[in-house]
Structure 1
């Protein structure tokens, strides 16, 4: 379960306040996969980061009673001065996993070779994505957060990504953002529509998509 309890999220930039969520309360139930919908700027990615714990609310609480991933492939939690190897070991320990087991998986999956011993700041965007996706797949979560599926690496590597991702999602819930409504429908049975700082859950994903399309006109 992921529960937002009167959550407010405000960004302050150069004296300007932007409210993403305003005292928003809703509950995501276990055993259900959700699509997160909203027009550009509605706060989809921010809401996903709040779910993962990679950002904190300005006010209110986000309560997780299940093991929730960070947004799939999200590299924002890596320290740029640390090597790929050091980052993997650090994240594994945070999540209570065996660092040696996780490191072996990421090394084999990412195919970064000696670059695992190089600071993240020296990685190309593609290398960073390989490491981040490998780390995302190395730890089995109960709920995976997916902020738009994008291709990582060449065709062969993308096939490997799809293979391991299929195995992970077979036993886990999904919370997904995507601009493709067909992708949303293929993953999610219920929808969350974000608008004007509020989040409304629709038990039928088709109803959520219909509301989103009206908002987007």
Structure 2
């Protein structure tokens, strides 16, 4: 379980303030997949980073009763001069998991072939994301944080990724950011909409999607 209490976060860019969390409080239950919806720039990825601990809120706290993944698919932590294989071995040691098992899993799942033994700096963004997703799914967490990860790769890889993710969330919770409403309906039993720093949580996923789509319509109307 993850609970956020009175979470606040504001960015200042070129003298303008952008509030992404305005005293948000919410509970994300165990073994439940929760979608976070919202416009581009609403702060969804920033919220995931605060939940993972990689970004500090201005105030408030994140309380968890289990392990939380880094944002799945985030490849920024890979050492660019190390090979994919060396990075996976390093992460296995950091998280205390069996190195050989994780290496075998990632090598098979990511499908990088000979690139697995080349420096990560030579990878395309898609290859880094495939590596990152494989590493994330190869380690058991009580809650997975997911930021559009299954949008990576070709159709076959996206299907494989979603099937694996669906299997993982039978035993773990997940908080996921995605613009794929079909995916939300297939995988999630709760959904929230982030808007102007406020998070509205819905037990009815269809109601959350309707709220999100109304926001998107208003954006189109304003720009049109």
| TM, length-normalised to structure 2 | 0.83
Report if the CA contact (8 A) 2:31-2:171 is conserved: no
Q: Which consecutive residues of structure 2, in runs of 5 or more, have no partner in the other structure?
A: 219-224
Question: What's 2:4 paired with?
Answer: 4
Question: What's 1:189 paired with?
Answer: 189
CA distance in 1, matches of 2:160, 2:50: 29
Question: What's 2:167 paired with?
Answer: 167
Of 39-48 and 85-94, more deviation after overlay is shown by 85-94
Report if the CA contact (8 A) 1:175-1:188 is conserved: no
Question: What's 2:99 paired with?
Answer: 99
Distance 1:39-1:191 versus aligned 2 partners, 3 A rule: same
Q: State the 1:108 CA deviation.
A: 2.7
2:96 is the alignment partner of 1:90: no
Question: What's 2:74 paired with?
Answer: 74
Q: Which consecutive residues of structure 1, in runs of 5 or more, have no partner in the other structure?
A: none
CA distance in 2, matches of 1:21, 1:151: 26
RMSD, aligned α-carbons: 2.3
Secondary structure of 1:24's counterpart equals strand
CA distance in 1, matches of 2:25, 2:75: 28
Of 94-103 and 186-195, more deviation after overlay is shown by 94-103
Question: What's 1:109 paired with?
Answer: 109
Deviations 1:127-156 (A, max 9, x none): 212211211221122222222254444455
Question: What's 2:30 paired with?
Answer: 30
Report if the CA contact (8 A) 2:191-2:204 is conserved: yes
Report if the CA contact (8 A) 2:192-2:208 is conserved: yes
**TM alignment of 1:19-58, pairs within 5 A:** 19-58=19-58
Report if the CA contact (8 A) 1:26-1:200 is conserved: no
**TM alignment of 1:129-144, pairs within 5 A:** 129-144=129-144
Tell me the matched-pair count. 217
Question: What's 2:208 paired with?
Answer: 208
CA distance in 2, matches of 1:155, 1:209: 24
Of 49-58 and 192-201, more deviation after overlay is shown by 49-58
Q: State the 1:162 CA deviation.
A: 4.2
Deviations 1:49-94 (A, max 9, x none): 2222232223222122122222332212223233322321232233
Report if the CA contact (8 A) 2:166-2:187 is conserved: no
Q: State the 1:157 CA deviation.
A: 4.1
